[in-house]
Amino acid sequence: MRHLFPPILPALIFAAPAIAADSELYTFHCLWGCPVGAPATNDTIVREIYTLSSNDFTKMADWVAYRITPQTIATSQGDRNYRIDNWLDPSETLAESQYAGAPSALRIDHGHQAPLAAFSGTPQWDDTNYNSNMTPQASALNQGPWQRLEGRERSATLQTGGPVFVYTGPLYERLMKPMPAGPTYHRVPSGYWKIVALGDGRMSAFVMDQNTPRNANHCDYRVPLLHVELRSRLQFLPRRGTAVLSSMDSLVGCTTPPRPLDPPSEITTR
């Protein structure tokens, strides 16, 4: 596992010692520590506007953490100049050519994990367009409930004065049709998770399938934090200590109780 940082990161890194492969990572993008549990071979990238853990096998980030403030938000600007992340070895990240034909063949978009609109007020807004921050995300999901949830992240930031901490990443829970440009083993995510949190312990968590309808209400996909941890196989807020978590559902536009979760599957064959 490599940890990649820009030459100067004022106030970003809170852990003074050198980072060991099995240590926890602290950046100001992560509330109470960054997620724990990604493969040891992952590469950690810390940029001014996000931190991510890039998986060498899937060639996508297992998690992305970002921190929104009123000052980072602005109307989206500039071209969407999607490109390879030159902080990673070419064998460890998707080339833009691997998206060739995918939007029409799979009905997918370049899905930003750290969204452009949350950082259009910063000089680093174009860093959201690296392919390390992208996943092949269903167009209906990306342009529908996922986009509306991202809008609620920004409105919560403006309402509270921020910062709002967000973690997001893919799920690989069933086999999906691969990218048409190959390689054939390239995995397309089956869904996505997201955690939105405030420094006072208020938080909301969501899981959405790739086949979530465009007109779906993001609030219908709220889940407990433990649910995300079990499905993503990551631990969040590792330095939470005795801090008590509470709901921030109303701040992300959800005013009704969450839907009951489906019961866990059982082994039925005898």
Residues labelled catalytic: 112
**Burial status of residue 201 (CB atoms within 10 A of its CB: 0-12, 13-18, 19 or more):** middle
Alpha-helical regions (H) of 200-253: 225-232
Rounded-to-integer distance, Cα 150 and Cα 159, Å: 14
**Burial status of residue 13 (CB atoms within 10 A of its CB: 0-12, 13-18, 19 or more):** middle
Contact 243, 263 (CB under 8 A): no
3 state DSSP class of 255: coil
Tokens of 118: 């949350």
Alpha-helical regions (H) of the chain: 102-106, 139-143, 145-160, 225-232
